[in-house]
Amino acid sequence: MERHPAATHEEPSIKIWLHIAASIDASRLDSDPHLNCVAALQTQPSTEWVLLGTTEIINETHEPKWITPLQVDYKFGSKQFIKLEVFDNDATGRKIIGSAEVKIGSVVKVPHFELELIHGPTEQPSGKLIIIGEEDIISKQNVVLQFKGLNLEDKDTFSKSDPFFRIYRKSDTNEWIIVYESEVIQDNLNPEWAPILMGLSNFCRSNLETEMKFEVYDYDDESTRELIGLFEAKAKHILQPHARFQLINPKYIEKKKNVNVGQIEVDEVNITEAESFIDYIKGGISLNLSIAIDYTSSNGLVVNDNSLHKLHEDGQKNEYEKAIIALYDILEPYDNDKRFPVFGFGGIPNWFGLTSHCFAINHNEGDPYVEGLEGILSSYHRSLSEITLDGPTHFSDILKRIAFLCQSDRGNVYHVLLILTDGEIHDKKETIDQIVAASNLPLSIIIVGVGYDDFTNLIELDSDRHALKDSNGKSALRDIVQFVPFRKFRSEPMLLAKEALGEIPKQVLSYFKQVGINVRQLNRQH
């Protein structure tokens, strides 16, 4: 049997046009200034600045409003900075008037963004920039697609195949990039998969001539799946209602076997312009980060060098700190008040004297919030001398607490819960019940596994393939959990956020669609 590893997904991007104006300190200019603005992009962990573009030159004014917009590919899960430099150009060359750097997330969060221009090593103010970030209209086109399989080959001996599919598009460098992976349909050779809703730009870069590839697999487990068949076609052919495609299996062709492995039919196609994630963000949505930290004894005594909670005197960060920093850096611009609740579980706080599976590490159950990243890390550092590591590992109390926060906040808040844990949970049934109950709330749950456990139970909570069902058989209304093992990104922690947060925009949109709140209604609530 041929084995196929899990696919790597490309991070979705949204094209943003940056419209730029400035107000320059007139004392820094001569009587005939010729001003332009140059933009560069930095995506961490790289430190390289990549040129985005240059505006036209405007003369005889200290308040230029450049016509030429600059384009950037915005990626929610990546830490992206824009550097803007304003120059005065004359016959002898150009001199810099001032520069500014800003996270792209801060720009797209508001209708217009202002920041100070600074100049020279002493960082003297030289004016200000006004930036309007506008989403490209093409990025707002969505495609709804539904596929079904016809007479798929049976790969199982005692039952029928459990098929799922992947869709790829060909990149500019002729590589296949996965754009979608479906759920698994159990024991069915004529499956009808759930409809796909995705941006047309993510599907085929809004280019109908893009080469696409469709692969169908029989699912066995997370590491084992067998290819049933595939086909390749241009996007314009796939986006045709009731189009049918014959699947082929390259292995059979090599062996000159004439085996019919089935067909794929396009059951539904609909291309629409819809409200986007950025529409909701600009409409006032606050993404509120909450953090839950594992204080169970399996982390190891804090004084031991091999403890996962070890605080290093040389400034090196442990895995808990690195994970917090990576996700905080991405989510911070989208949190309106910059105050973050931080909870612990599985330990014995010295102010309680009993094992608790949900406690505020700042000692204040009525106000568990701390200010900014410094507040989060300092509270965590202090807590390690105030909490006895214990156990077992339970999530359900934390989930109840966050559900209460979700129900208490107004309609312009969407919660992101980061759970940091070193091992398997011991209240799996209760945790699943809480996740299913919370699937109708404005909530996404990111679970980061630190250390070296295999995290089997936690992987099952990430229901990309099968909807979670509670102990009464009720299915989750939507997928709200993403699990990521930290060890996968130990050498580049900033890439952790890209993997962990990649589904947040989709989950935000699915929630507001589910509850029927559009941007206009959101603005009225706000």
Query: Cα–Cα distance between 413 and 415 in angstroms, integer?
Result: 6
Looking at 116, 135, 154, the residue that finishes a domain is 135
On whether the CB atoms of residues 10 and 177 are closer than 8 A, the answer is yes
Q: Is residue 465 part of a domain?
A: yes
Q: Is residue 268 part of a domain?
A: yes
pLDDT exceeds cutoff 60 at 45: yes
**pLDDT number for residue 382:** 96
Model confidence over 375-392: pLDDT tens digits?
999 999 999 999 999 999
Q: Is residue 1 part of a domain?
A: no
**pLDDT number for residue 525:** 57
* CA-to-CA separations, 54 to 36, 69, 130, 382, in angstroms, rounded: 7, 9, 16, 48
CA-based nearest residue to 398, from 443, 446, 357: 357
Same-domain pairing of 282 and 408: yes
| Total structural domains within the chain | 3
**pLDDT number for residue 495:** 85
Same-domain pairing of 395 and 510: yes
**pLDDT number for residue 322:** 94
User: Which residues, in sequence order, are bridge partners of residue 484?
Assistant: 448
**pLDDT number for residue 58:** 94
Same-domain pairing of 191 and 299: no
Q: Is residue 3 part of a domain?
A: no
Same-domain pairing of 58 and 117: yes
Estimate to the nearest angstrom the gap between the alpha carbon of 161 and the chain centroid: 32
Same-domain pairing of 265 and 281: no
**pLDDT number for residue 20:** 96
pLDDT category of residue 142 using cuts at 50, 70 and 90: confident
Query: Cα–Cα distance between 254 and 231 in angstroms, integer?
Result: 16
Q: Is residue 50 part of a domain?
A: yes
Same-domain pairing of 431 and 496: yes
Looking at 246, 273, 300, the residue that finishes a domain is 273
DSSP state of 283: T
Model confidence over 53-65: pLDDT tens digits?
999 999 988 999 9
Same-domain pairing of 126 and 145: no
pLDDT exceeds cutoff 90 at 414: yes
Backbone angles phi and psi of 397, in degrees to 5: -65, -40
On whether the CB atoms of residues 472 and 442 are closer than 8 A, the answer is no
Same-domain pairing of 287 and 241: no
Q: Is residue 5 part of a domain?
A: no
| Assigned token pair, 447 | 């679970």
Model confidence over 480-499: pLDDT tens digits?
999 999 998 888 888 899 88
Estimate to the nearest angstrom the gap between the alpha carbon of 488 and the chain centroid: 16
User: Which residues, in sequence order, are bridge partners of residue 196?
Assistant: 145
What CATH number is associated with residue 239? 2.60.40.150
Looking at 135, 157, 177, the residue that finishes a domain is 135
Question: DSSP 3-state assignment of 513?
Answer: helix
Task: Spell out the residues 6+ positions from residue 303 whose beta carbon is closer than 8 angstroms to its own.
Answer: none
What CATH number is associated with residue 337? 3.40.50.410
Kindly state the average pLDDT of the residues 492-507.
88
Percent of the chain with pLDDT over 90: 66
**pLDDT number for residue 163:** 95
Q: Is residue 228 part of a domain?
A: yes
What is the reported pTM? 0.79
Model confidence over 328-340: pLDDT tens digits?
999 999 998 999 9
Q: Is residue 8 part of a domain?
A: no
Same-domain pairing of 282 and 417: yes
Same-domain pairing of 100 and 166: no
Same-domain pairing of 356 and 266: no
Same-domain pairing of 201 and 254: yes
Domain range holding 73?
14-135
